[in-house]
Structures are given as structure tokens and as C-alpha cells.
Amino acid sequence: MLEAAFRGVTLSGLVYDLRQPDANSDIFYEDVARFSDEVLAEIEQRAVAALDGYTRYVQDFLREAPRSRGEYAIELLTLGQVLGRYGGAVESTSPWVVQLARELLGLRRRVSTMKPVTDLLRAVVTRYFLMSRIGHRATEKQPLDGLPRLIEWLHATGEFEQEAMRLHNWRSFLCTLPPEESAHWIETAEELFDWFKRKAYRALGSYTRGVSNFLAGEYAGRGCREDQIFCGKEPAEYLLCMVAAEVMNRGLRAEFKRTPKKAVLVPACLRGVRAGTCRAIVSGVDITCVACDPACTVNRLTRRMRSLGAAVYLVPHSTGFSRWLERWQSTPEYGVVAVACLLNILPGGYEMRARGIASQCVPLDYPGCQKHWHSQGIPTGLNENRLVQIVTGAQPG
């Protein structure tokens, strides 16, 4: 009865929905796999020399463990995305604002009791200083010289930590090239993302039809909040996360399959309104289901995963994700599957990759947590068959 009461809400007011046009997201996974192939082929065609050079650079000079060719391609696409979306905001933000935002973010992380105050101050700084001209390109072309400011701005927001670190590596590589060549590859990255947006809207845009309504409706009426950049992302950023999830899963699939043990991290929003009566056991950073509610999605997932030899752990919020990952970083025999909202897929995947965790990810079919996406909060969901395929190593590809 409880799920039925929310079903009308979830179908009519979702930010994104991977279950369109069917009742499950099977078609989505076919669509995103097919489009990802097209994206990777286009990047390869336009930027093969850049990918070749960057691959050698990160392995030979940065001493980074090899990643897949597709992952490097997504990083280049991400460079084009942030330049186009946030370049104007970076250009109009004074250095003292960036420094203040970074100090507030550091204080928030160091002193948990200061979180309410720092969140309020960060909300004000973000609303009135950092968000100016988001959605506009920079008016002046400073291809390579402008990247440090861009990276610092991304760090300061607190929303792009992992992306900023990957782009720092690209800047380091581009600095080794002649100025005209580095400028060419930066321009190519922007052109590639412009191409991506046009193609992605046609290939996958039906899954993000609710984003514009959300931005014009609930989001517009919220006022000053510390999550306003995160929640204010445009449809193209969701579409990039869809492709990134597919490509990163491919790059890590073989390593994940080799791990003898599996753990599944699921967001607390899967409980929906049941969170208020949840009796999950907290032990350190572990939060485990005790099967207190037979109808709870987390209970069902826990039982299903246990039958496959995998453990399920609740993660209360994305801000706690790093603490959970410290455990799996020190237990390399585990392969970790992270279930998350689309916008958390890319940074979460980057962080697991950086920590050397053999991982896979499964995006929620639709978001519904009260903190970010829905004023009342609704139970979220995922493609459970897809999760089973990943855990058992039976997924296509």
C-alpha cells in the first residue's frame, strides 16, 4: 500500500527516470551502451593523438596505474563540459571568493559541529558569488593559462573534487605541449562536448525530461542552499554521467570479476519513508539491514545479494561515501558495487578508481531523497536484475 501511494508521484515528478518508456530500465542500458560506443568512436577519431600522449604521460610521468582508453576519453569530454558550463562563472569569480569557499569547505570537513554554520555560509557564498554566469562560456580565450583558475573554482564548490583532480592531470600533460597544440586540444574538448550534447539529447534525452521542470519549479523556489550547484545541473550533465557510468564499468569489469568477495553499497534513500522506523545496526562505518520491514527495498536487496554471497551496506549520504571507501581500500579481496544517484556516479567512480578499489556502479532508476530531489522524499529504486548481473559477472559485454 505504501509503495502504491507514491507510485503516482514518482511517475509524474521525477528529475530523471531510466524506466522510460517501459516499467523497468532494461531499454536504458541497451541505449546507453550503444550510444557510449558512438561517443568513444567520435572522441577517438577527433583526439587520437591527445589520448595517445596523455596515456603515456600519466603512466610514465605521473606513475598512475593504467586506466582504460575509454576512461581517458571521458576525462577529455569532462574538460570540454566544465569549460562550456562553468567557464563564465570562473571568469567572474574573484580569487578571494574562491579562497573563502575553500576555507569554509575545509572547516566543514575538519569540525563536524560547525557543519550547520559552514553550510549556511557556503550557501550564501555560492549563491551570490560562485554561481554568477554558470551556463556561460568565458568571454576571453586563455586556453592553458585559464585552467588553474578553473580547477581551483571546481575544488572550491565542493561538488567537483574528483573531476578537478582528473583535470589537473590533463593540465599537467597539456603544459608539456607547444602552446598552439595545447590550445588545439582544449578547443577540441569543447567541440567534442558540444557534439556530445546534440547527440546525447537525441539518444538519451527521454530519460532526463524531468530535469528542466525540476529546475524551473522546485529548484527555483528553494532560495539559498549549499547544494544549489549540485542540484542545479543541466540535463547534459546527467547524460554525461550515464555514459561515464557505462564506460567506467567497462574499464573496471575484468578487475572486479577477479575479486573473490563482493560488497554492495546502497543509498539510504532506498528506504524512503521507512527510514523513520528503520532498525539497521550501526557498527563503526557499517550500517546493515536487520530485516525489520518485509516490504523494504533494502531488506529485499540484502536477502537477494546474500543468496549470491554478497554483503549489503547502507550509506546514509554521499558525503559519507569516502569514509566507507577507506574500508574497502584496505580489503582488496572485495569488489565493490556502488548504487547511487546519477550525479554521484562520476565522482564516486573516480574516487573508487583512485583508491584502487575494483568497482562497478549502478545508477538509481530515479532519485527521490528529501535532501536534494523531493520535498517529501520518496522511495527510490534500481534495476535489481542489472545489479545481479554485475555481482555474478553475467552482465553483457
Confidence of residue 393 (pLDDT cuts 50, 70, 90): confident
Does residue 332 belong to any structural domain of this protein?
Answer: yes
Contact 281, 392 (CB under 8 A): no
Helix (H) or strand (E) holding 385: helix 384-392
Task: Confirm whether 244 is domain-assigned.
Answer: no
Q: What is the dihedral of CA 164, 168, 169, 172, to 10 degrees?
A: 170
Cα–Cα dist 220/348, whole Å = 27
Residue 219 lies in a domain: yes
Domain membership of residue 253 (yes or no) is: no
54 and 145 in a single domain? The answer is yes
Same domain, 213 and 298: no
From 178, 211, 239, the end of a domain falls on 239
| pLDDT (mean) for 215-242 | 91
Assess whether 303 and 194 both reside in one domain: no
Is 246 within a domain? Answer: no
173-183 mean pLDDT: 96
Per-residue confidence band for 271, with pLDDT thresholds at 50, 70 and 90: confident
Whether 119 and 32 share a structural domain: yes
Q: How far apart are CA 189 and CA 79, in angstroms?
A: 6
The pTM (predicted TM-score) of the whole model is 0.91
Q: Are residues 31 and 171 in the same domain?
A: yes
Is the pLDDT reported for residue 340 higher than 50? yes
**Residues 14, 48: one domain?**
no
Lowest mean pLDDT among 172-176, 185-189, 305-309: 305-309
For residue 252, tell me if it sits in a domain: no
The answer on 34 and 181 residing in a single domain is yes
Residue 346, domain CATH:
3.40.50
**pLDDT tens figures, 65-111:** 889 999 999 999 999 999 999 999 999 999 999 999 999 999 988 88
Which grid coordinates belong to 265? 553499497
| 280, part of any domain | yes
Going from the C-alpha of 308 to that of each of 171, 261, 289, 313, 336, the distances in angstroms are 43, 10, 16, 15, 14
Q: Does one domain contain both 315 and 296?
A: yes
Is the same domain home to 204 and 234?
yes
Q: Between residues 316 and 237, which one has the greater pLDDT?
A: 237
H helix intervals, 111-227: 115-125, 147-157, 161-174, 179-204, 209-214
Q: pLDDT band for position 274 (50/70/90)?
A: low
Expressed as residue numbers, the domain containing 362 is 2-24+259-392
Q: 362 near 390, Cβ under 8 Å? A: yes
What's the mean per-residue pLDDT of the chain? 88
**Whether 10 and 36 share a structural domain:** no
| Number of structural domains the chain divides into | 2
* Position 229, amino acid: I
pLDDT tens readout for residues 7-54: 333 345 789 999 977 688 999 999 999 999 999 999 999 999 999 999
Q: Answer yes or no: is 302 within a domain.
A: yes
Q: Which three cell numbers stand for residue 382?
A: 534500481
Q: 340 near 365, Cβ under 8 Å?
A: no
Same domain, yes or no: 311 and 207? no
Residues 181 and 278 in one domain: no
